[in-house]
Amino acid sequence: VTEGVADGAAPGVQDLLGIQEAATLLGVTMRTLRFYEDKGLIAPQRVCTTRIYSRREIGRMQLILRGKRLGFSIREIKEFLDLYDVDPEHHVQVRTLLTKVTERMKDLKRQRQAIEQTLTELGSIQEQARAWLQAHEAGAEGQAEKRA
Amino acid sequence: VTEGVADGAAPGVQDLLGIQEAATLLGVTMRTLRFYEDKGLIAPQRVCTTRIYSRREIGRMQLILRGKRLGFSIREIKEFLDLYDVDPEHHVQVRTLLTKVTERMKDLKRQRQAIEQTLTELGSIQEQARAWLQAHEAGAEGQAEKRA
DNA sequence: TTGCTCCTCACGTCACGTGAGGTGGC
DNA sequence: TTGCTCCTCACGTCACGTGAGGTGGC
């Protein structure tokens, strides 16, 4: 506590987290954090081989997870995050975001349409199966009644 | 034409198709046919190493493709097709089908719900991005006007 | 010999899960 | 020595796509 700064993973002081803590905080597994690092989305500092997650990494991770929830691939998310550094005014970034979001919405509307259609088809299969069972179980009951 | 029966891939005579023809007829690639065979869904006859597809295989493939369109995994489809041979009365098969179909419909309704939510979220992001751009482009235009 | 169809591996895709096997400091 | 956390490979998942490299019959 005397030196205070480079004192390792003192939680709360500098918000420096180990991989376990970061994973718990973010609601993901350690494997996920290592995977995103491998893909170049985050770059936590290292103390020897051990990863240290600062507030910057946690913030990026929250953005990444939001992107994932919205259905973007990690490649797309990486491209978007990379724009942040190259584009300090964020004009290009926001315009790109708008394009991607609009595309994604189109895609989702198409998916929704496909789901509606599949549900209709499944519904009729369901009814046919029920009718078939009714017919054949009625037959079986008839036979059971005869035997009784 | 004299012998007529085991005369190889004579199309139309016995509906015996080569892999290329079968693939074209079914609208899939040859790789797909080989893949389903590897997974035990179909078992075309062989003439030496060459695969021969009869009407039975084509019929099975059409069922398989229907199952796929409805969103079932090939494992599930295989389980269902295997019931056909073990269950000559098809009671178990139809009952299993009904269960699976109902499950799948629940799943799709959940997915549809998730899509609705994502669309809402994306919509608000879209609006925020548009507002941001309007504000910043108005600023840029203002500067352009000053310069002009 | 060239060209065509068919074949069998086997790696690549996507986002991780899941061991296996090893290390540093209490 | 045992137990804990962290590490790095690397295979497995799912349904194929896509070469690579080879074969038989016209």
Which nucleotide's C1' sits nearest to the alpha carbon of A31? C16
| B118/A94 CB distance under 8 A | no
Give protein residues whose Cβ lies within 7 A of nucleic acid chain D. A 18-21, 30-31, 34, 49-51; B 28-29, 31-32, 35-36, 48, 68, 73-75
Any CB–CB contact under 8 A between B13 and chain A?
no
- Of B4 and B62, the one with more pLDDT: B62
Give residue-wise pLDDT tens across range B98-126: 999 999 999 999 999 999 999 999 999 99
Tokens of A124: 């009729």
From the list A70, A119, A130, the residue facing B98 with the nearest CB is: A130
Q: How far is CA A42 from the centre of its chain?
A: 16
On the question of pLDDT at B147 being above 80, the answer is no
Any CB–CB contact under 8 A between A112 and chain B?
yes
- By mean pLDDT, which of A6-10, A79-83, A111-115 is the weakest? A6-10
Residue A54 banded pLDDT, cuts 50, 70, 90? very high
Residue B5 banded pLDDT, cuts 50, 70, 90? very low
Residue A15 banded pLDDT, cuts 50, 70, 90? confident
Give residue-wise pLDDT tens across range B16-61: 999 999 999 999 999 999 999 999 999 999 999 999 999 999 999 9
Q: Output the 3-class SS for A15-56.
A: CCECHHHHHHHHCCCHHHHHHHHHCCCCCCEEECCEEEECHH
From the list A97, A118, A136, the residue facing B129 with the nearest CB is: A97
Give residue-wise pLDDT tens across range B83-94: 998 999 999 999
Length of chain A: 148
- Closest chain B residue to the Cα of A135, Cα to Cα: B91
Chain A residues whose beta carbon lies within 8 Å of the beta carbon of residue B71: 118
d(CA A56, nearest CA chain B) in Å: 22
Residue A121 banded pLDDT, cuts 50, 70, 90? very high
Query: Average pLDDT for residues B62-89, to the nearest whole number?
Result: 94
Instruction: Name, in order, each residue with C-beta under 8 angstroms of B71's C-beta and a sequence gap of 6 or more.
Output: A118, B104, B107, B108
Instruction: Name, in order, each residue with C-beta under 8 angstroms of B96's C-beta and a sequence gap of 6 or more.
Output: B79, B80, B83
List beta partners, residue B50. Answer: B47
What CA–CA distance (Å, rounded) separates B21 from B42? 16
| B97/A125 CB distance under 8 A | yes
Q: Nucleotides of chain C within 7 Å of a protein C-beta?
A: 5-8, 10, 14-18, 24
What CA–CA distance (Å, rounded) separates B42 from B60? 7
